[in-house]
């Protein structure tokens, strides 16, 4: 949550040095990002700083690995809509807070790590903007580069509390908290290996 200065809890403590990623490192993790990588670099760094991810190389490596897989290497800022049977199932799901007609599609997954459902959009909106209305009224905001990155940082640091699992180098549990299962684990494992190598 942000304090009165607008900074989020979980920032590196005074005296600690945040891990700063370079464009070369980002491209080493996500080689197909090419022209997209420089457009996202500063926003990714800001999100990692704000939500305590940049406190260690291991946290950064795990975060970048998951972002790489979830976003198709910074290609997708929103869920590809079929709709599939699973997506049709978003409608009316109380656990997602989808209580109004059309909520399923309106609050589909958006951001580098997809925030899904009215309730989660409202939580994210409160964390990022200090009110519930910003994302309730303009959910497409999470498709912009800055908000896509910040929402991923919020999802990681405050919503799913993944920093401790990254500290433990626990890829499987991180993946389960993000995905609900182990979908794409082989690719996430490969991204993590690249990230660890790139970060030294």
Q: Is residue 67 part of a domain?
A: yes
CA 90 – CA 92 distance, rounded (Å): 6
Q: Is residue 183 part of a domain?
A: yes
Same domain, 60 and 151: yes
* pLDDT value at residue 17: 78
Among 100, 120, 140, identify where a domain stops: 140
Q: Which two tokens stand for residue 74?
A: 């910074």
Radius of gyration of the chain (CA): 16
* Residue 121: domain span: 85-140
Q: Is residue 172 part of a domain?
A: yes
CA 54 – CA 48 distance, rounded (Å): 5
Q: Is residue 108 part of a domain?
A: yes
Provide the pLDDT confidence category of residue 59 given band limits of 50, 70 and 90.
Answer: very high
Same domain, 70 and 149: yes
How does DSSP classify residue 199?
H
pTM of the model: 0.90
Among 120, 140, 160, identify where a domain stops: 140
pLDDT digits (tens, 9 = 90+) for 166-177: 999 999 999 999
pLDDT digits (tens, 9 = 90+) for 97-146: 999 999 999 999 999 999 999 999 999 999 999 999 999 999 999 999 99
Same domain, 46 and 27: yes
How does DSSP classify residue 28?
H
Same domain, 70 and 31: yes
């Amino acid at each position: 949550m942000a304090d009165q200065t607008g900074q989020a809890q979980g920032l590196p403590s005074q005296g600690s040095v945040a891990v700063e990623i370079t464009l070369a490192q980002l491209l080493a993790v996500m080689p197909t990002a090419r022209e997209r990588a420089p457009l996202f670099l500063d926003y990714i760094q800001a999100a990692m700083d704000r939500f305590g991810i940049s406190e260690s190389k291991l946290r950064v490596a795990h975060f970048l690995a998951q972002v790489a897989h979830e976003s198709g290497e910074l290609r997708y800022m929103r869920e590809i809509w079929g709709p599939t049977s699973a997506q049709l199932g978003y409608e009316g799901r109380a656990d997602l807070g989808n209580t109004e007609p059309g909520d399923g599609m309106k609050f589909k997954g958006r951001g580098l790590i997809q925030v899904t459902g009215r309730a989660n959009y409202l939580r994210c909106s409160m964390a990022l903007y200090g009110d519930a209305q910003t994302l309730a009224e303009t959910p497409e905001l999470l498709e912009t580069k800055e908000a896509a990155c910040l929402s991923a940082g919020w999802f990681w640091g405050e919503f799913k509390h993944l920093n401790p699992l990254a500290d433990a180098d626990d890829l499987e549990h991180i993946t389960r908290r993000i995905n609900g299962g182990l979908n794409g684990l082989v690719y996430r494992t490969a991204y993590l290996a690249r990230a660890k190598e790139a970060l030294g």
